[in-house]
Amino acid sequence: MRVGFVLGAFVCLAGSAVAQSVDDRVVAGEVTEQVARSLTEIDLEAGQIVTLSTEPAAGFDTILELLGPDGRPVAENDDREQGDLSSQIIYMPEVSGRHTAIVTGYGGTTGTFDLVIANGVEFGLSSEAVVLNDHVVTLERARAEVTFSADLAADDILVVTTFALSDSLDTVLTLVDAGGMIVAQNDDRGDGSLNSQLVFQAPAAGQYSVELGTFDGSSYGDLVLSMALDPLAEVPFDFDAVERTPFAEYTGTIDGRETEFDYPLELAAGETILALAEAINGDLDTVLRLVGADGNPVALNDDRGDGSLNSAIAFTAPEAGPYTLELRRYRSGESSGDFVLELSHVAPSFVDELQELLENRVSLSGPELTIETPDFRVLYTLEGVDASSTEYAQSVGEALQAMLDSQVNQIGWAEPIRDDDGRYRAYVADADGSMGVTYPVQIVFDNANTTDVHETSAARTVFVIDNDFVGMGKTASVHSLMRATATHEFNHVIQFGYDSEEGLDWLYEATASWTETTTVGSDQDATDYVATDFETPEVCWTTSQDGYDYAQWTLLQSIADVYGDGIVVEMWENSVTRDGFETMSATLEPVGTTISDVIQRWRAQNFALAYDLAPSFTDTVHVHHTMDSERGWMSKGGLEQLGANYIVVELDGRYEFALSGDAGLELLALTHSGDEIQVVPLGRGGVVDTNAHEYVALMVFNRTMPEAPGVCSDVGYSLDVSPATGAAAAPDYSFSAEHFTPPG
């Protein structure tokens, strides 16, 4: 997935217009050749949610932009609704003041329009929907879950939707019946955002509870929760309606003590079974895997395609023999709860029916058109929210062909898994706030394109490239952004050809972002993300906080600077047989280094800005403290595993610095002299002659490894400083100072 970062909190949703209340405003406007921008001033209060929608005259394609009180853009949207050229922004300002809505015409078109300014949020409900209630909810550590009740009649279709107002808030919705059983659950609604949506048709009248929480309980913030009855809503696939003959049922609990359950099976040749794993309480996210007699997996499923976190496997045994059905929780997170596992016999045709649920992850808003290249099938439309043009779709196909050549033929990645027609399937569509997204649609386990290794989690994919990149806060041209996204998403396709379940999550986005820098030259977009890590270098490597995995492509570049670009490919080759930190350790051990060592070097390289692309970086590393006296310094906490603090030294003379704190902490001096940045290891203390250098900083590095990827905690420390007469410590290695800029 490839995310475009923007200012403010907003979303663009398909659906009917917001009903106008007495407080709504309708402003008539016009865009002409003489006046290409129509401006409307709007006074907004901090925390006030507003929906801005254009209702243009026939044929007029509007673009809507919102400026904050300081005149800077905070949100933008081109097309908001399927089959219509109107625009829509949903926004909650952080500060009160006069905002400005700007309407222009796409491609220089002109026309008249109404700008509807309405309170609240548009959730894409039909005109027949009845809103039960809307809530502005704050989830915080002391209130991480909230429950709402809903009384439903038989056959009522309940639609519950979240819209996050805080960055990185990843919501989860669970619907529980009167008996306490989970009847529906959703994490991500599938639009590229972290918002959630439940669509549930009540089999009988009764009271239900909507439980709102966050994925893994690790993100907090504000959101809007909508609950409505919508008779025209599309109900997800109903697994309960599948014709089947149950032959076994198991129950259990996944929690911190027990997370793995294995069930032996003896299948006859041609026997078709359906395994359904359903969570009945808690936030349990199940995963099912069926393993053959040789120990290799033959079927695997995480989410079964009905909008829930439940799992399903349909499998026809090619030959008689013993199998093992494994039930686990999703590897990323610590979900827990009770489950029911049902095993049934079904018709062999249901294997294909279940695959279709996963296959059709992307649907276009208008008639589907196709452009074929030798290796890609590009699907696009000319209508609705996903509308692009034939010329744009052709340029996507051309870019993808170039990316296949550069990544597979030149860099040396293994060729990923193709569709049955021998091509890779790409969609040109509105990626809903992302620049692109890649979906695994079939676990094929072994990638036939790698003859020297047997993969166990290789997957076939489909992927999306955004149709216009409007509203993403990017200054590059659409063509440039498209090329960067094409190589980024195709690298995800390649990654899934190695391992679709790599425990080192960081590796996915970091590698795809690094690949941009090695394949598309000035069209790369990876440098836009570097600031996330540079601004908070004390944060743990592999943190689960949003954006760091994109930003830390520089770690791969730092490693490649020493050991060559091929080492990045080797990491993915090692992911086939290893997982998590072992994937990286197995790559680094043959070249005589460790994870802690390469990250220490990377943190120093970030200080030096010793990258070819450094002139495109917008930030230097953050300065934690400036030491300008002999009083020393105490940091009470915040330095996480494999993170670093940078302390600028403004003292003249020869000084000894001594570090006290956790045993995993170490001290380095970073000195600028001439055309070099020298890295001087001091261990727990050492002498530095500041007069011998143009610039001196200390780096406190926490070389302690996290217990597992994303499991981070912090420590504090103190630094003592005193005049010294002994010899200054010698540098261990150096970087070019060509791009060095004093931090801060």
Query: Please, how many CA atoms are within 13 Å of residue 152, restricted to the half-sphere of its CB?
Result: 29
Q: Which amino acid, residue 331?
A: R
User: What's the CA gap between 13 and 432, in Å, rounded?
Assistant: 8
Q: Are 379 and 361 in contact (CB under 8 A)?
A: no
Cα(546)–Cα(166) distance, integer angstroms = 12
Give buried/exposed letters for 93-130 (b at 16+ CB in 10 A, else e). beeeeebebebbbeeeeebebebbbbebbbbbbeeebe
Q: Transcribe 384-424 into DSSP letters.
A: STT---HHHHHHHHHHHHHHHIIIIIII-PPP-PPPTTSSE
Looking at residue 471, its pLDDT comes to 66
Expressed in angstroms, the distance from the first to the final Cα of the chain is 31
Rg (CA), the chain: 28
Measured CA to CA, the distance from residue 160 to residue 158 in angstroms comes to 6
pLDDT of residue 245: 97
Contact 234, 190 (CB under 8 A): no
CB 337 within 8 A of CB 286: no
Question: What does the alpha-carbon distance between residue 695 and residue 186 come to, in Å, rounded to a whole number?
Answer: 53
For 228, what's the count of Cα atoms within 13 Å in the CB-facing half-sphere? Answer: 22
Neighbours of 576 (CB within 10 A): 22
Is the distance from CB of 431 to CB of 471 less than 8 angstroms?
Answer: no
Euclidean distance between CA atoms 459 and 504, whole angstroms = 17
Model pLDDT for residues 652-710, shown as the tens digit of each residue: 999 999 999 999 999 999 999 999 999 999 999 999 999 999 999 999 999 999 999 98
Task: Evaluate whether 191 touches 432 at the Cβ level (below 8 Å).
Answer: yes
Contacts of 34 (CB under 8 A, 6+ apart): none
Core vs surface per residue 374-383: b (16+ CB within 10 A) or e: ebbbbbbbeb
Look at strands 665-673 and 62-67 and give their pairing.
unpaired
Residue 121 and residue 13: Cα distance in Å, rounded? 10
- Residues 433, 11: contact at Cβ < 8 Å? yes
The CA distances from residue 498 to 298, 447, 484, 572, 585, in Å, are: 16, 7, 22, 7, 17
- Alpha carbon 105 to chain centroid, angstroms: 32
Q: Which domains occur in the chain, in start order?
A: 17-119 (2.60.120.380), 130-229 (2.60.120.380), 239-357 (2.60.120.380), 360-501 (3.40.30), 504-744 (2.60.120.380)
Measured distance CA(539)–CA(544) in Å, rounded = 10
CB neighbours of residue 304 within 10 Å: 24
Provide CB contacts within 8 A for 446, sequence distance 6+: 296, 454, 455, 456, 458
Structure tokens at 274: 């359906």
CB 265 within 8 A of CB 322: yes
Amino acid at 190: G
DSSP letter for each residue of 250-270: EEEEESSS---EEEEEEE-TT
Tell me how long the chain is: 744
Residue 317 three-state SS:
coil
**CA of residue 112 relative to chain centroid, distance:** 38
Pick from 356, 382, 385, 358: nearest CA to 368: 382
Give yes or no for a contact between 72 and 7, defined as CB atoms under 8 angstroms apart.
Answer: yes
- Edge-to-edge, what's the strand order for the sheet holding 695-702? 623-627, 644-649, 695-702, 665-673, 676-683, 733-736
Question: Cβ-count burial of 356 within 10 angstroms (0-12 exposed, 13-18 middle, 19+ buried)?
Answer: exposed
| Residues 224-263: b if buried by 16+ CB within 10 A, e if exposed | bbbbbbbeebeebbebeebebeeeeeeeebbeeeeeebeb
Strand order of the β-sheet with 182-186 is 146-152, 206-214, 171-176, 182-186
User: CA distances (Å), 154 to each of 180, 181, 210, 230, 307, in order?
Assistant: 18, 17, 17, 13, 21
pTM tops 0.85, yes or no: no
Q: Is the Cβ–Cβ distance between 386 and 339 less than 8 Å?
A: no
DSSP codes joined into one string, 186-211: ES--SSSSS--EEEEE-SSSEEEEEE
* Percent share of the chain, pLDDT over 90: 67
CA atoms 347, 349, 353, 358: torsion sign? positive
- Among left, alpha and beta (phi > 0; psi -120 to 50; other), residue 384 is left
Closest CA to 11 of 228, 166, 211, 200: 166
Considering Cα of 285, then 465, then 424, then 498, what sign does the dihedral take?
negative
Residues of the chain with pLDDT under 50: 3-22, 81-83
Measured CA to CA in angstroms, residue 516 lies from 168, 476, 512, 525, 630 at distances of: 24, 14, 7, 7, 46
Q: Is 495 helix (H, G, I), strand (E, B) or coil?
A: helix
Of 579, 707, 589, 688, nearest in space to 642 by CA: 707
Which tokens sit at 411?
């860099």
Quick one: tokens of 660? 């006290």
Burial of 33 (0-12, 13-18, 19+ CB in 10 A): exposed
